[in-house]
Structure 1
Amino acid sequence: MSIRKKLLLSNFGMVFIPAVLVILCGMLLYGLFEQNFRDKGGDYGYGTTKPDGASIHEVTGRMETLFAGIRFMLQYEPAKLADPVFLREMDERLDGLKAGLVVMKDGVPTFVSSYVSDVDTNELPMIHGKRKFGKGESGLSLRTGERSYAVERMEGSYPDGSRTSVYLLTDMSPFSALLPKVLPLAAGTLLLILVLTNGVLTFVVSRSFIKPLYALKQAAERIKDGNLDHELKLPGRKDEFAELGGAFEEMRIRLKQSIGLQLQYEENRKELLSNISHDLKTPITAIKGCVEGVLDGIADSAEKRDKYMRMIYRKATDMDRQIDELFLFSKLDLKRVPFHFEKLELVGYLSEHVEELKLQPGGGDRVVTLETEGLERVYVQGDREKLHRVIQNIVDNSMKYADKSPRRLAFALAVSGGEAVVRVSDNGSGIEADALPHIFERFYRADPSRTDSGGGSGLGLAIVKQIVEEHGGRIWAESVVGEGTTVGFALPLTQSERKVDGI
């Protein structure tokens, strides 16, 4: 449940639950009051003197019936209100209900019930009611000594034209005495209900907030202390805290990966500097040796000096190539090399490269072939210049370790699984199985003893891998020692080419 729904339900509960509890408590108090009323035969001012077990509703009904009869007499038979027999009968009935009747004619009392004999009749004409009905008023009250009365006043006239006023007085003293006791109890009960409801709901809702916040705080403190292995768990939650916890956990994982990657980069940087130092030191040492030979007069003939100069030039060329490859690899690694992708047709593109390789100088004993499996046109999105670098680096690496004559290079192009697959196979010495997974790593050489003679930087295949992956492709190698090596790479076909291929 979301936090918003919890807060809405909590606010609704703080209103609804106290209201229900107050109603239930009211019903309970009313039931106790009603039971006492029945047990005591109406000692609370509304009952009857007979212990007949009448309820408050029953007694109130009797009084309403009696009062209605008096109103009827006042309106239709006012002469009855001057009949002593009728008045005595009415007095007896009212006395049983702890009520009384006062009849005035032209402002002078003509009948006063015995139950209300202590009332000062001169005060009755001076009280005013809150609600009028017909020719009368209700909601009047009068206090005399220790008694309180609820008063209902009705106006009428006798047959001789004189004005009459009838006052119905109901004793409210027991209720008035009970009210100061009931009100504090009701107010205290209401306050207790509000406090308990608010406290329980606040505890339940706040606990559901505080617990995940505390877990988040602990996790943040662990991250602050450098501990990125502690997993944040908020089981069973499906609210905003679960989303926050998920985002926090993802942040922790990414931060851990980022720091791990940063450490790996730092380690790679140190290794890179070490390898650069080693690879550049070798040709520099050779150049220094040649220069010293010339300066010391060892090269005392034109032929020796020419030999030394050629060696210096070759070593300087190797250094220049290593620096260029290192610069290119660094830019590729930092994603700073721009790629210019275009729709490239691979059959023609590979054919051009095969012809170029056949015409290169020094390729007299080299045999280069291309197999396209009958494909006429295969389209990929590629950068011509960068793919040329890929093919050239693979070929250079193959020719570097060629130990048979003729040196064979077999290019093969196929389409499979929505990819254009290019394979370049040679008949060289091959690569050991334990070294094969590492040949695309920078500065890795399968045969370290041949570093100097090979003249390589150890970055050729690492650059190939970077370029192929930037094209969204993949690269791999297969080799059999003594028979040769195959380097393959796959590039995604264009969308139109995939549809033609049925993929």
Structure 2
Amino acid sequence: MSIKTRLLLSYIAMIIIPVVLFGLVASVLANYFWGGQLGHEREAGKPFFRDTLNKRDELFAGVTFMAKYAPNQLTNHDMLTETDEQLKSVGGALIVTKDGNVLFASQSIDSMELPEYMREQTDPHSWKQFKKSGYTFDTYEFTYGDQSKGKLYFLANSFPFIQTGIYFSIAMILSLLVIVALTNGVLTFLVSRNILRPLYALKQSANEIKEGNLERPVQLNRKDELGELGEAFEEMRVRLYDSIRLQLQYEENRKQLISSISHDLKTPITGIKACVEAVQEGIADTEAKRDKYMKMIAIKSEQMDRLIDELFLFSRLDLNKFPFHFEEVDLRVYMVQFAEELRLDPRMHGVQILYDEKHDIPITVMADQEKLHRVLMNIVDNSLKYLDKEAKLIRLEVESGGGDVIVTLSDNGTGIEKEAIPYIFDRFYRADPSRNSAMGGSGLGLAIVQQIVEGHGGRVWAESESGSGTRICFSLPDLKKVGGDTV
């Protein structure tokens, strides 16, 4: 559920829940304040105060009926006392006068004298009259049987109802405020906790990243906007971790590169220096010895030149500053020419070069012929260093399938240990622990092969077993499969 939806639901809940709770509380308060008013049980289905008013009106109507049709009954003190008891239970009172004199007054009236405000005959229902005595009153004039004038005063004490109503209103207002405050407080707490908790987790992760700890993953396990933020944060952490790790690897590679260059340059320089010292100190005292030392200097210089050349080439390839000049190449024809070139190379004396043409169908690729030649020669040079058998063999193969052209160069040399295979394409890597460069290797040949092949959109790999020879393969995109058979 998204945060937007959660907030919308919380807003709706902040309206609905207080309304429902307020309705329940109002019902409870109404039953509490009005249900048992004046010590009487209310009738089922009717509020008590309405029952009270109705009963009081009925008693007043009965007394009025008696005054109209049986006025002499109003002189019966027992009957009036009984009626007064009934009126008292509903907040009413009665005063009966005869010729202006009080004949009967309810016990709730303080004196037998007719109150002054009743004599003034002002509006009997005014708030002014109610404030004076706590009663409102109504009158009814009648005539006794002896023709004397009588008057009834019906008094209604509404103060308990008004007081109860005030308390009830105050209780309702306070209840509403408490309900709204509690509802908003609880919902705000729940929603804010749901939002703040992942934010605290992100803050903690940010502090750890600031301190350099990038190994702890950020896992919010949410499907909302904060979950998306957490995923983005986790992706940032992973990228930073990989970037720093790659930077450290680059730094390590740089140190290794400097060490390797120093080592591989120092060996021929040491040889050259030794030869020069031999000539200077007169050790080479014959023409034959001088020629020997000069040839050694030339060989060491060539090794240095080749190392520097391969290092320069590798660095340009690594920085993507060595341009490729692609063109359509029939790889079948190209490999035939390369095989013939190898057979004419003096270094291949005693090495059998085999190239099996399995078909005559052209195999076309987009390639830089010069760099492709460098790839093949580097692989061949690597094989030459490890050909240790009498019948030395290098086999060339080309096959097309699955959208790629696979070129394979295999030999019957010493092979490569299984654990060393994943590293042979690393710069300056040599399988021999001593890093002896007497065999003429720079340690960059196969690394250059990988860079050039990947620059062509292919990949390179090796298959080998110790003592059984080595197969180095690389793939190039088949132009016919990529662009269609019309190419």
Report the equivalent of 1:233: 219
1:454-469, aligned counterparts within 5 Å?
Answer: 454-469=439-454
Report the equivalent of 1:493: 478
Conservation of the 8 A alpha-carbon contact between 2:34 and 2:49: no
The aligned amino acid for 1:18 is P
Q: Please give the per-residue CA displacement for 1:298-350, whole angstroms capped at 9, x wherever unaligned.
A: 33444443433332222112111101212222333444444455554422332
Report the equivalent of 1:14: 14
With over 3 angstroms needed to count, the CA separation of the structure-2 counterparts of 1:300 and 1:150, relative to structure 1, is farther
C-alpha displacement of 1:433: 4.1
With over 3 angstroms needed to count, the CA separation of the structure-2 counterparts of 1:449 and 1:269, relative to structure 1, is closer
With over 3 angstroms needed to count, the CA separation of the structure-2 counterparts of 1:123 and 1:270, relative to structure 1, is same
Is 1:260 aligned to 2:236, yes or no? no
Conservation of the 8 A alpha-carbon contact between 1:39 and 1:53: no
CA distance in 1: counterparts of 2:344 and 2:410, whole angstroms: 19
* Aligned residues between the structures: 426
C-alpha displacement of 1:41: 7.4
CA distance in 2: counterparts of 1:493 and 1:322, whole angstroms: 33
Unaligned runs of at least 5 residues, structure 1? 43-50, 67-83, 89-94, 100-113, 128-139, 152-168
CA distance in 1: counterparts of 2:212 and 2:36, whole angstroms: 73
Report the equivalent of 2:62: none
C-alpha displacement of 1:371: 2.5
CA distance in 2: counterparts of 1:297 and 1:460, whole angstroms: 39
C-alpha displacement of 1:399: 2.4
CA distance in 2: counterparts of 1:329 and 1:185, whole angstroms: 88
CA distance in 2: counterparts of 1:354 and 1:53, whole angstroms: 112
1:22-171, aligned counterparts within 5 Å?
Answer: 22-36=22-36, 40=40, 55=47, 145-147=132-134
The aligned amino acid for 1:182 is F
Instruction: Determine which of 289, 312, 317 is the counterpart of 1:327.
Output: 312
Report the equivalent of 2:438: 453
CA distance in 2: counterparts of 1:192 and 1:398, whole angstroms: 89
User: SS of 1:421's equivalent?
Assistant: strand
C-alpha displacement of 1:375: 5.5
Conservation of the 8 A alpha-carbon contact between 1:423 and 1:487: yes
Instruction: Determine which of 449, 452, 459 is the counterpart of 1:474.
Output: 459
The aligned amino acid for 1:234 is L
TM-score, normalised relative to structure 1 = 0.70
Is 1:346 aligned to 2:345, yes or no? no
With over 3 angstroms needed to count, the CA separation of the structure-2 counterparts of 1:11 and 1:324, relative to structure 1, is same
C-alpha displacement of 1:391: 0.9
User: SS of 2:415's equivalent?
Assistant: coil
Conservation of the 8 A alpha-carbon contact between 1:425 and 1:487: yes
Report the equivalent of 2:303: 318
Instruction: Determine which of 255, 268, 272 is the counterpart of 1:283.
Output: 268
Report the equivalent of 1:3: 3
The aligned amino acid for 2:40 is K
CA distance in 2: counterparts of 1:17 and 1:198, whole angstroms: 10
User: SS of 1:299's equivalent?
Assistant: coil
Q: Please give the per-residue CA displacement for 1:10-60, whole angstroms capped at 9, x wherever unaligned.
A: 222222211221122122223344532596378xxxxxxxx9996469759
User: SS of 2:343's equivalent?
Assistant: helix
1:209-224, aligned counterparts within 5 Å?
Answer: 209-224=195-210
CA distance in 2: counterparts of 1:304 and 1:274, whole angstroms: 34
Report the equivalent of 2:192: 206
User: SS of 2:223's equivalent?
Assistant: coil
C-alpha displacement of 1:434: 4.6
CA distance in 2: counterparts of 1:329 and 1:189, whole angstroms: 82
C-alpha displacement of 1:405: 5.8
TM-score, normalised relative to structure 2 = 0.73
Q: Please give the per-residue CA displacement for 1:206-239, whole angstroms capped at 9, x wherever unaligned.
A: 221232222223323333333333333334x322
The aligned amino acid for 1:388 is H
CA distance in 2: counterparts of 1:412 and 1:252, whole angstroms: 46
Q: Please give the per-residue CA displacement for 1:465-489, whole angstroms capped at 9, x wherever unaligned.
A: 2322343433222335555322112
Conservation of the 8 A alpha-carbon contact between 2:458 and 2:477: yes
With over 3 angstroms needed to count, the CA separation of the structure-2 counterparts of 1:464 and 1:14, relative to structure 1, is same
The aligned amino acid for 1:246 is E
CA distance in 2: counterparts of 1:467 and 1:218, whole angstroms: 45
User: SS of 1:454's equivalent?
Assistant: coil
Report the equivalent of 1:71: none
With over 3 angstroms needed to count, the CA separation of the structure-2 counterparts of 1:451 and 1:25, relative to structure 1, is same
The aligned amino acid for 2:183 is T
CA distance in 1: counterparts of 2:405 and 2:445, whole angstroms: 22
Worse-superposed segment, 340-349 or 405-414: 340-349
The aligned amino acid for 2:241 is K
CA distance in 1: counterparts of 2:45 and 2:358, whole angstroms: 111
CA distance in 1: counterparts of 2:246 and 2:4, whole angstroms: 40
Worse-superposed segment, 439-448 or 21-30: 439-448
CA distance in 2: counterparts of 1:52 and 1:403, whole angstroms: 115
The aligned amino acid for 1:13 is A
Instruction: Determine which of 161, 181, 194 is the counterpart of 2:167.
Output: 181
CA distance in 2: counterparts of 1:53 and 1:443, whole angstroms: 100
Unaligned runs of at least 5 residues, structure 2? 59-66, 72-85, 93-104, 107-114, 139-154
Q: Alignment RMSD, CA only?
A: 4.2
CA distance in 2: counterparts of 1:194 and 1:203, whole angstroms: 14
CA distance in 1: counterparts of 2:455 and 2:349, whole angstroms: 35
The aligned amino acid for 1:35 is G
With over 3 angstroms needed to count, the CA separation of the structure-2 counterparts of 1:445 and 1:242, relative to structure 1, is same
